[in-house]
Amino acid sequence: MRRWSSSNPKASLMARKRFAIVRAARQAFLEGGYAQTSMDRIAKAAGVGIKTVYRHFEDKDDLFSAVMQAACNPAAFDHVSGRWKEPKNEAERPWFAKPPHSALVAAGIEYLHHVLSDEQLALYRVVIRDAHRFPELGRRYQAQVIERAHDVFVHYLARWIPVEKWKISNERAAAQVFTALLRAGIFENALYGRDRVSEGEITNRARGAAARMLILLHGGGL
C-alpha cells in the first residue's frame, strides 16, 4: 500500500480516497468474491478513477491486503483527519499482565469474538473460495490474519515463560495449538452457517481451551 507524507498538502484528500477505495473493495469482495471483482468495479463504487486506485494500490492483491488490515483493525482510520492512525504495538493486550489461568481465558474470548465475527467469516469464505486460483491470496491471508493472531499469543508466552518456568520447544507451534483448541468444531459450525455462537458458548469454549492449554504448558508437551 502506498502512503503520502503528512507534510504533503494533498495527504488528507488522498487518505480519504484511499479509505473510500478500501471500503468499496471490501463490499465488492464480500459480494462477488475475489476472482469476479474487477478493479474497475471497485473504482466505480468508490467514486474515483481507475488511475486513482492504482495510485494507491499496486494490484488487486495489494488492495485485498488493505481490506484484511482494515477488517482486523476497524478503528485505524480517522474520519475527521482522513488519515490512518499510527499503529500501536498490536501484540500488547490488557490481559498480558494477568496470570495464565485468567489471561488465557481472556485471550480465548478475544480471539473467538474476532474469528467468529460476521466480517471475518465472510472474508474467510472469500479466501477459501478463490485461493486455489490465486495462491497469493491465501498466503496474504495466512500472514496478515492467521499469523498476526498467533503473534499475540507468542508475545504473551515470551513474557511468561521465565515466570512460569514452562518448557516450550516452539512458541509459534504452541500458539497454533491454542487457536486450534479454541476453533475446533465451533468455527466450522459458524463458517457454514449451522449455528449462531452465543456469548455463553464463547466463554465456555475459552475456559475449556485455556484449561487444556495450561495442562500442556505445565506438562512440557509443547
Give me the domains of the chain, ranges plus CATH numbers.
11-84 (1.10.357.10), 94-219 (1.10.357.10)
pLDDT by residue (tens digit) across 87-99? 455 557 889 999 9
Q: How far is CA 146 from CA 54, 72, 80, in A?
A: 27, 11, 31
pLDDT by residue (tens digit) across 42-74? 999 999 999 999 988 999 988 988 888 887 766
Q: What does the DSSP 8-state code read for residue 19?
A: H
pLDDT by residue (tens digit) across 106-158? 999 999 999 999 889 988 999 998 888 888 888 888 988 899 899 999 999 99
* pTM reported for the whole predicted model: 0.80
Q: What does the DSSP 8-state code read for residue 78?
A: E
Quote the cell numbers at residue 188: 466450522
Quote the cell numbers at residue 86: 499510527
Quote the cell numbers at residue 214: 495450561
pLDDT by residue (tens digit) across 158-188? 999 999 999 999 999 999 999 999 999 899 9
Q: Are 215 and 109 in contact (CB under 8 A)?
A: no
